Amino acid sequence: MTTHHPVELAAPDISRFAKGTDGVPYVHSFDSGKPGPHVMVNALTHGNEICGAIALETIFSLGLRPKQGKLTLAFVNVDAFQRFDPAKPNASRFVDEDFNRVWVENRLDGPEQSAELRRARELRPVFDQVDFLLDIHSMGTPSTALMIVHGLEKERKLAKEVGVPPWIVAGQGHIQGKRLIEYTPFNDRSNAKTAILVECGQHWEANAAKVALDTTLRFLGVTGAIDHETVTKHVHEKTPKPQKMVDVSGGYTAKTPEFKFVKDFTGLEHFPKAGSPIATDGGETVVTPHDDCYLIMPNHRAKKGDRALRFGRPS
């Protein structure tokens, strides 16, 4: 599997959004003055995942405003994004560390310093006020787009209501830290605050920007921020495909620098039988752990100690 993919998308100039509406750079909130939820959409959680920035730029250009409640649009890791170079598109994922792994209280409240922690602390009061959050991402492989939820019923429900992409993956997928969708206020069964994450396809393929916009519009529609006529008018895919849900059943972390997949897997490949070879890792063969197994988000750039893949089974 090549780890190099053509950059079909142009990174937008977001400098005009630098001055936020409420004192937080690159964060813009619009209040309808009517009762309703506070709905938020994030782009650029990772600085090289530019499809979300394109989608938010489109939302701004359409002049969409909430018909009820409050709408917040945020460009997150701008410091990393400003380093984006289409000649080296993987180099700007973050500045010091992964922004989407810092969402644990002992780090947010602690003395550590990094570019991502500083931005997380700046944004944390905004997230604390939000009722519904869509976090826009993309992937290293040309996989079919998918929605990721941590697994709570409220997340599954919202993902199904949004209706796109055609796959929903539920469960934990990493080995360190917490994703924003797992930040304590969202990952609480006792409240209705809900965060979901969309992976729009390969980072820089043209279709990723379409998936990002369609998912954003449908998310804004189901949360009541905009009307369904507006959604229908602007989405690319008028009739979404039926969704399938897969629960993460486990994962595999590379043990050696020689980890390598046996085929050019892109993700969501199905293996009917347990024991199907997936990868080699030094002298070990990595196989599917159970029947009816899906391969989720294979990481062809995995180094020793990195999460290389996830397994899943149909919900």
In this structure, what are the phi and psi dihedrals at residue 119, rounded to the nearest 5 degrees?
-70, -40
Same domain, 25 and 60: yes
CA distance 1 to 241: 28
Tokens representing 70 are 């409050």
Assessment of whether the complete model's pTM goes beyond 0.75? yes
pLDDT in tens, 201-253: 999 999 999 999 999 999 999 999 999 999 999 999 999 999 999 999 999 99
Q: Is residue 88 part of a domain?
A: yes
| More confident site: 186 or 174 | 186
Counting other chains too, the contacts that 288-296 makes at CB distance below 8 Å and 24 or more residues apart are: 289/249, 289/250, 290/249, 293/249, 294/246, 294/268, 294/269, 294/270, 295/265, 295/267, 295/268, 295/269, 295/271, 296/169, 296/173, 296/246, 296/248, 296/267, 296/268
CA distance 162 to 221: 8
Tokens representing 315 are 């919900």
Same domain, 215 and 127: yes
pLDDT in tens, 108-128: 999 999 999 999 999 999 999
Q: Is residue 8 part of a domain?
A: no
CA distance 179 to 172: 9
Query: Given a cut of 90, is residue 175 above it in pLDDT?
Result: no
Same domain, 233 and 252: no
pLDDT band at 184 (very low <50, low <70, confident <90, very high): very high
| Phi-psi category of residue 40: left, alpha or beta, with phi > 0 → left and psi -120 to 50 → alpha | beta
Q: Is residue 267 part of a domain?
A: yes
Matching residue, tokens 């905009």: 226
Same domain, 153 and 85: yes
- Name the residue range of residue 84's domain: 15-242
**pLDDT, average across residues 274-293:** 97
pLDDT band at 275 (very low <50, low <70, confident <90, very high): very high
Q: Is residue 118 part of a domain?
A: yes
Same domain, 210 and 274: no
Average pLDDT, the chain: 96
Q: Is residue 4 part of a domain?
A: no
Predicted local distance difference test score (pLDDT) of residue 173: 64
For the domain that residue 144 is a member of, what is the CATH number? 3.40.630.10
Predicted local distance difference test score (pLDDT) of residue 172: 78
Q: What's the domain count of the chain?
A: 2
